[in-house]
Chain A
Amino acid sequence: MTKADIIEQIYEKVGFSKKESAEIVELVFDTMKETLEKGEKIKISGFGNFVVRQKRPRIGRNPQTGEEIEISARKVMTFRPSQVLKAALNKGASEA
């Protein structure tokens, strides 16, 4: 599934024009990106949390040469799925 498929479904279900549907879907994802870029987390109930984490510098190793290199401090984004999402994925299967 791509953004185009999501836009198509919004168009079919909401009654916006194709253009409006595309604009709104783009706006939702752009707003999410801008929020995360600021380092702010996003909590979507029933879906999950997008969290920006600060990583400290650490020593890594080139697995091929064994050479040690410093991995610089950085910010990374992680997604923590909600219990509701995890349950939805395992519905039926987990009861067996």
Chain B
Amino acid sequence: MNKSELVEMIAEKTKITKKRAEDVVNLIFDIMVDAMVKGDRIEIRGLGSFVVKEYGAYTGRNPRTGESIQVSPKKLPFFKVGKELRERVDQVEHKEEKPPQT
């Protein structure tokens, strides 16, 4: 599923227009990006949390050539899946294993 499919599903499930749904979906992700840019941690109960980790400068190596290169400081976002979603993602597997009728 991509963002426009998500937008369509939201529009279908509510009474709002596709345009409005698109605005809201875009805004939700923009709000989350802004929070991460500020270094905020985001916690969505049931889904998971986003954390930005900061790395200092270090000397890395090109694994192919062995050449040393200086890696500048950087920030990377990480997502930790929440308990509810982690269990839901894994559970379907076990349900599917049981009925092989179809």
Instruction: Answer whether A and B are interacting partners.
Output: yes
Interface residues in chain A, defined as those with a beta carbon under 8 Å from any beta carbon in chain B: 1-3, 5-6, 9-10, 13-14, 16, 23-25, 27-29, 31-33, 35-48, 50, 52, 54, 73-79, 81, 85-86, 88-91, 93-94, 96
The CA-CA distance from A47 to B42 in the complex, in Å, is: 14
CB of B10 within 8 A of CB of A31, answer yes
State whether the Cβ of B44 lies closer than 8 Å to any Cβ in chain A. Answer: yes
Please, which residues of chain B bring their CB within 8 A of the CB of A36? 85, 88-89
Main secondary structure, interface of A, reads mixed
Q: List 25 contacting pairs A-B, 8 Å CB cutoff, sorted by A.
A: A1-B43, A2-B44, A3-B45, A5-B35, A16-B24, A24-B16, A25-B28, A29-B46, A31-B10, A36-B89, A37-B89, A42-B2, A44-B2, A45-B2, A46-B29, A46-B33, A74-B93, A76-B81, A79-B48, A79-B79, A81-B77, A89-B37, A89-B77, A91-B37, A93-B74
The CA-CA distance from A61 to B24 in the complex, in Å, is: 46
Q: Say which residue of B41, B72, B88 sits within 8 Å of A96 (CB atoms).
A: B72
The smallest beta-carbon distance between B13 and chain A, in angstroms, is 6
Number of interface residues of B (CB under 8 A): 52
**Nearest A residue to B43 by beta-carbon distance?**
A2
Interface string of B60-76 (1 = CB under 8 A from A): 00000000000011111
Please, which residues of chain B bring their CB within 8 A of the CB of A88? 33, 36-37
Interface residues in chain B, defined as those with a beta carbon under 8 Å from any beta carbon in chain A: 1-3, 6, 9-10, 13-14, 16, 20-21, 23-25, 27-29, 31-33, 35-37, 40-48, 50, 52, 72-79, 81, 84-86, 88-93
CB of B89 within 8 A of CB of A76, answer yes
Please, which residues of chain B bring their CB within 8 A of the CB of A45? 2-3
Please, which residues of chain A bring their CB within 8 A of the CB of B6? 28, 31-32, 35, 42, 44
The CA-CA distance from A49 to B30 in the complex, in Å, is: 15
